[in-house]
Amino acid sequence: MSLPHKMRLLGSACLIAATGLLPGIRAGLVAQPFKFGVCTSLKRSPLLKSIGYDYQEASVMRDLMPGKSDEEFESKKAAFNSCVLPVLACNGFLPGDLKVVGPDARHDTILMYAETAFRRAKSVGVQIIVFGSSTSRLIPPGFDRDIAYKQFVTLLKALAPMAAINGVAIAIENLQITETNFINTVEEAIQVAKSVNHPNVGVCADFFHMLRQGESPEMLLSAGNLLLHCHLAEKQNRTAPGVAGQDFRPFFEVLHKAGYQGGISIEGSWRSEELNEALRIMKEQSKVDL
């Protein structure tokens, strides 16, 4: 059974329990079923473990190094293997010069790059590749948006079987309009994932970008079992939870309703001394009364 399918089966089971559809299940304060992590370098694994995080999130470009030889990757592979926390996901998928859409799209090169990335992800236990890559997917001025959409879907349909072979899932990330002009909302990411229609392609919901775009947390419920991964940071300055007092309860409440049991990574600007409080706040806010 594929990893995304397992995630979705677990999510469905949690949804039944959370909504009281099984006999003997009582409504009330629901403890978080989520895994909390941080997007950071591999060397910070001991710090995150000492605080109590469940996993960490690394970078495709920096850590899986698809542009480098297998020999060059060996030292980085050793760093993965020495991590004291699982590396659940990697973001930072494509460099800006590998264009996904537009007249300069380089799909053949991207497919070769991705094959290396997925193969190395499998070798170190990474399960999710977050597809943000704002510059890579930027639609050039004057280029037809419908054609760009078809280009992106075509690429994902080619990437999906490669991901499946290596046991990884591709999670399309929503990014605010100031970073890219394509897929700015979770709603749009869902539409793309549905167009691809492959079990190894889903959505990464970034709460920071949702807040910046004014998108309702209820959209997470619309994602259903396409929701594979989440990012979060506070709206004002993309800081860790607890710095500006952002209330993430509306997001956690919907995640509970959706039966989500995956990872939620802090992605943004933070200092090491802020991570203890950030984890405490996420755990506290994720206990919701359903």
**Ranges of each domain in the chain:** 3-289
Using the predicted structure, report yes or no on whether residue 67 has a pLDDT greater than 90.
Answer: yes
pLDDT in tens, 74-105: 999 999 999 999 999 999 999 999 999 999 99
> What percent of the chain stands above pLDDT 70?
88
Confidence of residue 30 (pLDDT cuts 50, 70, 90): low
Q: Is 185 exposed, middle or buried (0-12, 13-18, 19+ CB in 10 A)?
A: buried
- Give me the pLDDT at residue 288, please: 72
For residue 12, pLDDT beyond 80 = no
Q: What is the reported pTM?
A: 0.90
Say whether pLDDT at 11 is over 80.
Answer: no
pLDDT tops 90 at residue 5: no
| Average confidence (pLDDT) over 214-228 | 98
Fold of 3-289: TIM Barrel (3.20.20)
Quote the pLDDT of residue 32: 60
Give residue-wise pLDDT tens across range 246-284.
Answer: 999 999 999 999 999 999 999 999 999 999 999 999 999
> What integer pLDDT is reported at residue 4 of this predicted model?
54
23 pLDDT tier (thresholds 50, 70, 90):
very low
Q: How confident is the model at residue 33 (pLDDT cuts 50, 70, 90)?
A: confident
Please name the amino acid found at residue 41.
Answer: S
Of the two residues 170 and 23, the one the predictor is more confident about is: 170
- Give pLDDT tens digits for 120-146: 999 999 999 999 999 999 999 999 999
Residue 189: helix, strand or coil by DSSP? Answer: helix
288: helix, strand or coil: strand
By the 8 A CB rule, do 72 and 119 touch?
no
CB atoms within 10 A of CB 147: 14
Predicted confidence (pLDDT) at residue 8 exceeds the cutoff of 80:
no
Contacts for 81 with CB less than 8 Å, ≥ 6 apart: 124
